[in-house]
């Protein structure tokens, strides 16, 4: 992996012009543009996406934009870590060619009045994270639609966009949006990158104290326990696990649920996913969200029956 000097583009016009040049310069018959949207404050989870995009694309475009529209809590938006200089160096070291880093005004002229027209994530956007953070997935759907349109591949190129399984509901919303609106992009995803103790990497982890960090490990441990039970044909016992988490004083549990990976609807015993005895019959997804210290954390894990 060579260290490249990525070009930083501030405006939509610059971004489109740079993409057109890069596509024209490519020898490939049908060049692939790999887009990796991020909000910056990068870590190895983002790094894995850049590297995967690098392997499959002729031009790798990554964006850095803290999307005001997807924050329902102004304090969360204000405190979201912003480390643009480090991010540019990190992207360069991970094979990114072009960086789109627009200002709030460039993306949403006249904000907060604008944009007047937004994309709705519909029903899917109101479940779990969407219920706890009203408007969050509409904000995600709006910014992702804009980023996809801005990076629309000039013919004969085609566009692939990369997202992490870390934000499982986001991924489900984006896949559904791309299908429902016939957006000309292939959605690609990667599994969650975790630290050595199992904590899912997140830009928000920077704000955890040492004791918060220890408490935060309860999230991935709870998910692992469910995965173990699913894999050994035991009843999941989600209710009992939820009660245990609620007793752990340093963790303020919002939800721990087992859902259908496509519809995000909660599974119930006897519905084909979960047997009447509470065992997992077909692949399901466990979602968890909790506040630990000053941050809200989310995590998820697929639960599968034994092969």
Residues marked as catalytic:
46
Find all residues with CB under 8 Å of 35, minimum gap 6, and list them: 53, 61, 62, 63, 147, 148, 151, 159, 160, 161, 162, 185
Instruction: Verify binding: residue 124, ligand AMP, rule CB under 6 A.
Output: no
Whichever of 19 and 193 has its CB closer to ligand AMP, that residue is 193
Quote the least distance from Cβ 125 to ligand AMP, whole Å: 16
Instruction: Verify binding: residue 183, ligand AMP, rule CB under 6 A.
Output: no
Among 104, 190, 227, 282, contact with ligand AMP (rule: CB under 6 A): 190
Cα separation, 286 vs 238, in Å, equals: 10
Instruction: Verify binding: residue 133, ligand AMP, rule CB under 6 A.
Output: no
Stretch binding ligand AMP (CB under 6 A), from 12-20, 195-203, 223-231, 246-254: 195-203
Q: Where does the chain have alpha helices with state H? A: 12-25, 44-56, 74-79, 84-93, 104-107, 129-132, 136-150, 168-180, 210-231, 238-247
Instruction: Verify binding: residue 288, ligand AMP, rule CB under 6 A.
Output: no
Cis (ω within 30 of 0) for the bond into 45? no
Cα separation, 218 vs 215, in Å, equals: 6
Instruction: Verify binding: residue 95, ligand AMP, rule CB under 6 A.
Output: no
Token digits for 224?
């692992």
Instruction: Verify binding: residue 289, ligand AMP, rule CB under 6 A.
Output: no
Quote the least distance from Cβ 49 to ligand AMP, whole Å: 6
Helical axes 210-231 vs 238-247, angle rounded to 10° = 170
Whichever of 39 and 215 has its CB closer to ligand AMP, that residue is 39
Stretch binding ligand AMP (CB under 6 A), from 42-50, 90-98, 130-138, 269-277: 42-50
Element (H, E) at 40: none
Q: How big is the site for ligand AMP, counted in residues (CB under 6 A)?
A: 16
- What strands, in cross-sheet order, belong to the sheet with 158-164? 7-9, 98-100, 59-64, 32-38, 158-164, 186-190
Cis (ω within 30 of 0) for the bond into 230? no
Strands 284-292 and 295-303: antiparallel
Quote the least distance from Cβ 83 to ligand AMP, whole Å: 11
Stretch binding ligand AMP (CB under 6 A), from 180-188, 200-208, 235-243, 255-263: 200-208
Instruction: Verify binding: residue 146, ligand AMP, rule CB under 6 A.
Output: no
Whichever of 95 and 164 has its CB closer to ligand AMP, that residue is 164
Whichever of 166 and 273 has its CB closer to ligand AMP, that residue is 166
Instruction: Verify binding: residue 203, ligand AMP, rule CB under 6 A.
Output: yes
Among 31, 32, 34, 46, contact with ligand AMP (rule: CB under 6 A): 46
Token digits for 142?
């709006």
Rounded to 5 degrees, what are φ and ψ at 199? Answer: -70, 130
Whichever of 94 and 166 has its CB closer to ligand AMP, that residue is 166
Find all residues with CB under 8 Å of 3, minimum gap 6, and list them: 92, 93
Among 35, 39, 208, 287, contact with ligand AMP (rule: CB under 6 A): 39
Quote the least distance from Cβ 240 to ligand AMP, whole Å: 27
Binding site for ligand AMP (CB under 6 A): 38-39, 45-46, 49, 163-164, 166-167, 190, 192-193, 200-203
């Amino acid at each position: 992996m060579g260290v490249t000097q990525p070009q930083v583009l501030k405006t939509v016009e610059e971004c489109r012009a740079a993409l057109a040049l890069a596509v024209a310069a490519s020898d490939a018959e049908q060049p692939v543009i790999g887009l990796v949207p991020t909000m910056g404050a990068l870590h190895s989870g983002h790094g894995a996406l850049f590297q995967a995009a690098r392997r499959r694309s002729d031009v790798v475009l990554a964006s850095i934009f803290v999307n005001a529209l997807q924050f329902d809590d102004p304090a969360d938006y204000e405190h979201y870590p912003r480390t643009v200089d480090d991010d540019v160096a990190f992207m360069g070291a991970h094979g990114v060619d072009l960086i789109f880093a627009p200002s709030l005004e460039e993306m949403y002229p006249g904000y907060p009045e604008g944009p007047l027209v937004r994309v709705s994530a519909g029903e899917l956007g109101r479940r779990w994270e969407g219920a706890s953070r009203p408007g969050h997935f509409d904000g995600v759907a709006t910014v992702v639609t804009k980023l996809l349109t801005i990076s629309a591949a000039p013919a004969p190129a085609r566009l692939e966009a990369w997202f992490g399984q870390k934000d499982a509901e986001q991924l489900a919303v984006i896949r559904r949006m791309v299908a429902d609106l016939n957006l000309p992009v292939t959605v690609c995803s990667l599994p969650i990158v975790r630290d050595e103790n199992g904590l899912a990497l997140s830009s928000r982890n920077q704000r955890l104290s040492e004791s918060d960090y220890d408490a935060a490990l309860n999230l991935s441990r709870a998910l692992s326990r469910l995965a173990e039970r699913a894999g050994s044909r035991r009843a999941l016992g989600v209710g009992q696990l939820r009660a245990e988490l609620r007793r752990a004083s340093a963790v303020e549990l919002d939800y721990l649920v087992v859902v259908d990976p496509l519809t995000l609807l909660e599974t119930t015993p006897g519905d084909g996913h979960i047997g009447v005895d509470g065992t997992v019959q077909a692949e399901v997804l466990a979602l968890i969200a909790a506040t630990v210290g000053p941050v809200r954390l989310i995590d998820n894990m697929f639960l599968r029956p034994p092969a």
